[in-house]
Structure 1
């Protein structure tokens, strides 16, 4: 099958690589290069890097809906457009262009977690299972008819980085299975029930600001979902202190305020939360590196009674 692939970040790379093993990828569409690093040198997107290695034509439109871009895509005569984490909304002219339509690989079990950050939100919400859904793309945000689904377990130790890698591989396999089913006519499209829809809005820095009145496991889930990205954080003095891992304990400090440091040992420090304490195990100060709490405490004075904002 002649396929145009649209994708941008690392999450989309396994999908492109899988397509290359079974189909003719006639073009890749990805976001424009962005400056990175101290030198602000333009860097290709992960998907572009793979496409260039394979000698596949690459398009990087600022707006994919521009008429000249649409006509260029039409010229490839693709049977199908496969989309994994592309980053732009496709106009109807593109959605209706290929014979088999536009197929999207989405990182949730739709209609749960429509939106930009389904994997992070699933972890933050304490989900134990998520998955991949392939669907026909429609004008709305992740509202198209569903094709196939596969479940992916979220382990208690999984952070966003761990889940991202598992989901990327699962998504690539499900994309191939979906295309096979479309070619054979064995897949039934299933409309989504909008009444069951939940949303996964984009993750921002402020999303990671810890609310110490919440339960210990809720805060741990926030730490997991925000790593590596922006990170979960509290304010110590006037500086943010990122926190990557903690252990919850059912220990009562009735006179302490939420967010108050109630214990300091050589190995860690404990903060009062909504249902006990959180023993903080990994942190990162502004301008510093990620380190264990005991390493941090060797270079920073920490006292009980301090309130983390």
Structure 2
């Protein structure tokens, strides 16, 4: 491959989209077009804007509802990009579109492939109590997250990390992964490592209703659910007297304090003006912040509600 400037068409959204797009620009890639998403008014927008970055750099940007439309295929074919990249773009790209990239089409995925292929991989990793995850750049194929691995970087998931905190680490891992391997890719020496799907796992999307707490589970399982969906995600929730309560902030209790909670029924409880979530294994969460309808619920308020229940 020659030393001429390489061109790219980029599908991007969210913080990973912003940071990886910045890496392409810093490495001298000529980004001809960026395809992104319109922000959803029903979604909490806590992340950076790809569209704003493109405006700043004078990069043409479009946001079609479906990347399979013929007009987009024609537009990308006209640009004849060396590379196509997908950085946290939310739709699968059709194979005929991927084929338009002269030197390959690549996606940045938020897990250590082949583990946690599919949707919201960071949330699933936290939910399952993993102690590490990361970012993987891989070839795009017909199946999601199934192409050869180009490079990956791991990050720790600490015991009290929420998915949001882990996401911040994975954004940095994505930037580092692309920064390190891009020179080789631009020189025509893209690594190809096996992505053995038989050794991995696939998970679908999650909905707010998936955050409902099953108090019969162990305290560690309930705590993992809280960490996986803690704000800015919709949160882990439970219902008392037809009123929904969301755990905004909590910690797993150590065994030294469990004698305070002996003989309490499972679920939310108030002891010594503190809110606890008692679980099926007799262990519990100490809940620092609880809300209902977006308003904070104090221990005294919860105590009154629990007494009504009785």
Structure-2-length-normalised TM-score: 0.87
Deviates more, 1:194-203 or 1:274-283: 274-283
CA RMSD of the aligned region, Å? 2.6
Aligned equivalent of 1:241:
245
Partner-residue secondary structure (3-state), 2:25: helix
Shift in Å, 1:87: 1.0
Mapped pair 1:169 → 2:177: no
Matches within 5 A, 1:126-275: 126-228=129-231, 229-243=233-247, 244-250=249-255, 251=258, 255-259=263-267, 261=269, 263-266=270-273, 268-275=274-281
Please give the per-residue CA displacement for 1:187-213, whole angstroms capped at 9, x wherever unaligned: 431232221121232121122111112
From the superposition, tell whether residues 240 and 97 of structure 1 become closer, same or farther in structure 2 (CA, over 3 Å): same
| SS of equivalent residue, structure 2 residue 85 | strand
Unaligned 5+ segments in structure 1 are 38-43
Match of 2:12 among 7, 12, 17: 7
Structure 1 CA distance, aligned partners of 2:96 and 2:171?
A: 28
Give the one of 288, 294, 303 matched to 1:301: 303
- Distance, in Å, in 1 between the alignment partners of 2:115 and 2:244 is 32
Q: Which residue of 1 aligns with 2:3?
A: none
Q: 1:20 aligns with which of 2, 14, 25?
A: 25
Distance 1:79 1:31 in 2: 23
Q: Indicate the SS of the match to 2:238.
A: strand
User: 5+ residue gaps in structure 2?
Assistant: 1-5
> What SS does the aligned partner of 2:210 have?
helix
Distance 1:305 1:273 in 2: 20
* Partner SS, residue 276 of structure 1: coil
- Kept after mapping to 2: 8 A contact 1:260/1:306: no
Q: 1:69 aligns with which of 66, 69, 72?
A: 72
Residues 80, 102 of structure 2: 8 Å contact kept: no
TM-score (norm 1): 0.87
Contact 1:264–1:304, Cα closer than 8 Å, also in 2: no
Give the count of matched residue pairs. 297
8 A Cα contact 1:8 1:30, kept in partner: yes
The 3-state SS of whatever aligns with 1:64 is coil
Map 1:93-132 to 2 at 5 A.
93-132=96-135
Contact persistence 2:230–2:236 (CA under 8 A): yes
Q: After superposition, give the CA deviation of every residue in 1:13-47 in whole Å (9 maximum; x if it has no partner).
A: 1111221211221111112354469xxxxxx9821
Q: CA deviation at 1:99?
A: 1.6
Write the distance in 1 (CA, Å) between the matches of 2:136 and 2:285. 37
How far apart are 1:306 and its partner, in Å?
A: 8.4
Residues 103, 275 of structure 1: CA spacing in aligned structure 2 closer, same or farther, 3 A cutoff? same
